[in-house]
Structure 1
Amino acid sequence: MRNILLIQQSQVGEFNFEQQLNNLGFKVTVVNNALQALVKLESNNYEVALVDLSLERLESFWLLATRKLTTTVIALAANNSTLEKISALEMGADDYLAKPFNLRELQLRLDVLKRRSHPSDFSAPTYDIRFNDNDSSITCAGSNIQLTNTEYKLFRYLFERKGKVVTKDELQQRVLHKKLGKFDRNLDMHISNTRRKLTQQNLPRDLINTVRGQGYSFNF
């Protein structure tokens, strides 16, 4: 079971992070001040420490600034203030989340941070993908996904070039057979719809990954 240290003030009626994290399969230890947190961090092996910045400001930032262990730290804040986010990251937090947030998002962020710190512990999942040209559908991980003709062609084009970045201009010309206009979002719409259909079958939307400023790549 993955261990989490949660540092937050005890407030009656506040969203029960501990219970929700337990439901996700985490073992949670809760403390309500920075001194207790540092004692726990020195004597226990936690995968991550969640620091609620609603603690006394100096106390929570002091905790971030003085930590000398390798435990991943995610700062939790009541708002999405850019200044507070920058301050938390400068003081040593590895990531930042504004409340309220979806616990599934927190879980995914934890997975990403763990992959970065322990890359050998993870292997990319593989999917058996089959194409049906007759009805523009694909079978992926046992799920049948019905695509439009254009979505199907885009998906297959990217799949056949998996691991490579394919520019939007190339997709426009080779698949949509037209030049990419400055304000043309037609391609993005097709990609978005395809991702939505993937997630509806509990498949990762980032099978088709956006490479900012360049285009798309197929992650497999």
Structure 2
Amino acid sequence: MKQILLIDLHSASHELFHQLTAQGYYVHQVNNAFDALIKMETLTLEAILLDFAVPKMDSFWLLIARRAPTPIIVIADANSELERINALELGADDYLSQPVNVRELQLRLNILKRRTQIPVNDITEQQVRFDDVNYTVHLVDKPLILTQTEYRLFKYLYERQGVVVTKAELQQRVLHKELGRFDRNLDMHISNTRRKLVKGNLPRDLINTVRGQGYSFSF
């Protein structure tokens, strides 16, 4: 299911939430920086919708959001030309005026997706090589240099591709400790690995988050 992060304070967001859900999207709605960062780091998102009304939305939000290889669409005040210009100057991919038309949002997402698609061939098993000495994975002859922990996580998931591996199993087999209730180490390592995939023009979603279960590797 396509996932969208909605960072919003307006009461009108409830209507947008229900409209997007009706169109088949899974909407993660937050209203603060901490929750937004957690979602950005742990989910594969179709888009990030930012409302300038959220406190510290300006450059702070957009600079943080640039870390994610996800289209950033600002929800701007319909009567504020300065707000819309400011959003684009700060790095937003696009903007929509309130109230948001869901059909227009879908069309803009499709356009942004075509623009940002990673231009690499489909990766097959024959195009993946592991260098256990240098902790490097070669994908379609592109080197992915990882830390030792990131490398072991990537290889463990790869060897079990198509199977959902629980966080508890990864924590125990790769990090060699029990999974604590508030332990974020595993999510952080996965997030860093995905960021390196994107930086190397490789598909971020080779490692998929399976909500409420764990992670899986899939071509």
Give TM-score, length-normalised by structure 2: 0.50
Name the larger-Rg structure. 1
**1 or 2 for the larger relative contact order (CA 8 Å, sep ≥6)?**
2
